[in-house]
């Protein structure tokens, strides 16, 4: 069972988070020579449900929270940038 961790202070700006996520995806999920860019559609790039689960586990480890099912919607998971924007909104309670 997954446990919740304390949120990491100072998540950074969305561009910084997007860089971290893209690096993880490109080194752990994507085939060499087929990197994703922050604005690429992840589904079109070949990210399937198992790869998305790996991304969600990385987000939990890196940023200290699990994305609840109700937040797994297209606007939050369509691209690396969409994920980064979600992480920054979630990490900043005043913007929820």
Does any domain span residue 48? yes
Which among 31, 25, 15, 33 is positioned nearest to 53, based on CA atoms?
25
Does any domain span residue 40? yes
Contacts of 79 (CB under 8 A, 6+ apart): 38, 39, 40, 41, 42
Does any domain span residue 5? no
Does any domain span residue 68? yes
The total number of residues written for the chain in this structure: 96
Check if the beta carbon of residue 80 is closer than 8 Å to that of residue 21.
yes
pLDDT below 50 — which residues of the chain? 1-9, 95-96
Q: What is the pLDDT of residues 48-62, one digit of tens each?
A: 999 999 999 999 999
Q: Which domain CATH number covers 21? A: 1.10.1200.10
N-to-C CA span, the chain = 27
pTM of the model: 0.84
Distance (Å, whole) CA 19 – CA 33 = 17
Does any domain span residue 77? yes
Residue 64 lies in domain: 14-95
Does any domain span residue 9? no
Does any domain span residue 81? yes
Instruction: Tell me what pLDDT residue 79 has.
Output: 98
């Amino acid at each position: 069972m997954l446990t919740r961790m304390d949120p990491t202070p100072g998540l950074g700006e969305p561009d910084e988070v997007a860089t971290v996520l893209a690096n993880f995806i490109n080194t752990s999920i994507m085939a060499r020579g087929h990197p994703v860019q922050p604005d690429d559609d992840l589904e079109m790039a070949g990210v399937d449900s198992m790869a998305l689960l790996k991304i969600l586990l990385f987000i939990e480890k890196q940023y200290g929270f699990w994305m609840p099912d109700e937040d797994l919607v297209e606007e939050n998971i369509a691209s690396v940038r969409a994920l980064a924007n979600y992480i920054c909104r979630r990490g900043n309670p005043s913007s929820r």
